[in-house]
Amino acid sequence: MKTIDEMLSLDLITHEQHRQIGEWIASADSPDAILAMPAPLWQAVERASEVMGVDADLLRPPSLDAGDFAG
């Protein structure tokens, strides 16, 4: 939910899309159920993800010092 909240705050999705996506995710009982989200909602998420660089973040190799994180 944090990611779609950020998408909303950056005006990358509408309030209505945020509500619908949030409701879909909340009602999904599995990853497959989330993947069954209606195409228009997926398209909104994909466009926003592209602008935010989400895919690039997921594909970036881990930092060599990631194991030293004391958090």
One pLDDT digit (tens) per residue for the chain, 71 residues: 689 999 999 999 999 999 999 999 999 999 999 999 999 999 999 999 999 988 776 777 777 765 555 55
Long-range contacts of 11-15 (CB under 8 A, 24+ apart): 12/47, 12/48, 12/51, 12/52, 13/44, 13/45, 13/48, 14/44
Identify how many contiguous H helices and E strands the chain contains and give both numbers: 5, 0
pTM, two decimal places: 0.75
Q: What is the pLDDT of residue 53?
A: 87
